[in-house]
Amino acid sequence: MKQGKLIVLSAPSGSGKTTLVKYLLHKEELNLDFSISAASREPRGGEIHGKDYYFLSLREFKDKIKADEFLEWEEVYRDNFYGTLKTEIQRIWDQGKHVIFDIDVVGGLDIKRIYPERTLAIFVKPPSIEELKIRLKKRKTESEDKINMRVAKASTELATAPQFDAIVTNDDLEKAKAEVFQLVKKFIT
Ligand code: 5GP
């Protein structure tokens, strides 16, 4: 069985980790492929099944939990399950690539625990909780209620930062991009 490395980017929702993941994916020399998670939530505008997520019904998701098909899974928000399928990692390793994850802090630390040596776990820190709220509002993809739920969760998530291999503060996007690039490059070579 071929095994590459695992790069985890975790952060509170709205910290800009998705932008950083996309940036790293464009860097061919890093040889990364995105771990497409399974999710039981509805697709948001423009999201594509099999590209952004494997969108499953709650029922389908729970069946896969029972069948032990997940490396890790979690009920991130109520009835919104997210998880990494074991087949997804293997699909990417079989191509001779490293896996990059855009995943929440609990899932990220689970991956690190399962593959301690192969995983680089990076915590992307928002400049502040206030700034996080502004970013989520600007994104206009969630209702006020959902934004509040995500902001409340962010405080607990911030407390996990010291358990990660590295912390990158995203107050200046260009600087954050350069930092994650260097971290990943060093880890895979
Ligand atoms: P969103 O609904 O904004 O796409 O994602 C909500 C949260 O679920 C984000 O923090 C995202 O990183 C996390 N998430 C996405 N995929 C996974 C996964 O496979 N496992 C876990 N544990 N969390 C995930």
48/87 Cα distance (integer angstroms) = 19
Can you give the length of the chain in residues? 189
Parallel/antiparallel/unpaired status of strands 32-34 and 98-103: parallel
What pLDDT score was predicted for residue 78?
85
**What is the CA(107)–ligand 1 centre distance, in A?**
8
Q: Which domains, and CATH codes, for the chain?
A: 6-188 (3.40.50.300)
Q: What's phi and psi for 147, nearest 5 deg?
A: -60, -45
> pLDDT, tens digit, for every residue of 66-113?
999 999 999 988 889 999 999 999 999 999 999 999 998 999 999 999
Q: Which of 16-30, 97-111, 131-145 shows the lowest per-residue confidence on average (mean pLDDT)? A: 131-145
What is the helix (H) or strand (E) element at residue 32, kind and residue range?
strand 32-34
What pLDDT score was predicted for residue 1?
59
**What is the CA(28)–ligand 1 centre distance, in A?**
25
169/167 Cα distance (integer angstroms) = 6
135/154 Cα distance (integer angstroms) = 13
118 or 132: which leads in pLDDT? 118
Question: Average pLDDT over the chain, rounded to whole?
Answer: 93
52 or 150: which leads in pLDDT? 52
Instruction: Provide DSSP, 84-109.
Output: EEHHHHHHHHHTT-EEEEEE-HHHHH
Pocket-forming residues, ligand 1, beta carbon under 6 Å = 13, 37, 41, 72, 74, 76, 82-84, 102-104, 106-107
